[in-house]
Each structure stands twice: as structure tokens, then as C-alpha cells.
Amino acid sequence: MWKHRSDPVLHIDLRRWADLLLVAPLDANTLGKVASGICDNLLTCVIRAWDRSKPLLFCPAMNTAMWEHPITSQQVGQLQAFGYIEIPCVAKKLVCGDQGLGAMAEVGTIVDKVKEVLSQHADFQQS
């Protein structure tokens, strides 16, 4: 816990440290929290404090029934309105055994999108 005013605050330190934030997978619970501004864990606190001049990418992943619920499209739209970049989910056999839309995008697709977004932000330092 914090003892002094200058003690580090992890979610703020992470915000400052990172050039890009990737949330993969973004489940229905966290999607709802982020869309509503709830910040009750480290991830949602980092997102709430995120520097919106830096890219934030998210990869939704959930059961097809959850993905097709009307609130999901509203919540995804809210994240897009914040300027966050969606890497769309795909249709395939899901963890629950169902076949359908809702699986997280393939890792290669995610990596390609991250590279694309980083290349568009030339002001980031190369390591």
C-alpha cells in the first residue's frame, strides 16, 4: 500500500511505460466493465487511466450466444467510440465445444495488427 504521496501507483506506471495496450482475450465480463467505466482490478484500472494518444487494441472472445446478444454490439461500439481498435473475433469451435462466432482472432492476425498499428505510430521508440 501507499505510505507516501510519491509512492508508485502500478496502473499509472504501466500506463506511462507501455507504448501500446493489447487486451487479448477480452471476455464479456471485462468488455462490460470497460464499456461502463468500471475499474475494479489492475487491467480495468490501466484501461481507465490509458493515454488515449496511444493505441489500445482489444480481441473479443466469448460464446456465440454472448457475442450475439444486443448489448455486446453496444459495448464494442462504445470501446470503438473511445478510439480503441477491435481485432474481430472469428468463427470456429469454441472452448465450450460449440461451433460459431466468438473465438479470439488467431495469434498471427493479432501480431500482424499490432505491427501495423505500431508502424503507424513512428514516434514510438524502437527497442
Instruction: Give catalytic residue positions.
Output: 96
Please name the residue ranges forming H helices in 18-127: 28-36, 42-49, 64-67, 70-81, 107-120
Dist CA 115 CA 109 (whole Å): 10
Cell numbers for 12, please give them: 499509472
The residues that bridge with 22 in the sheet, in sequence order, are: 57
Cell numbers for 114, please give them: 499490432
Block residue for cell numbers 503507424: 120
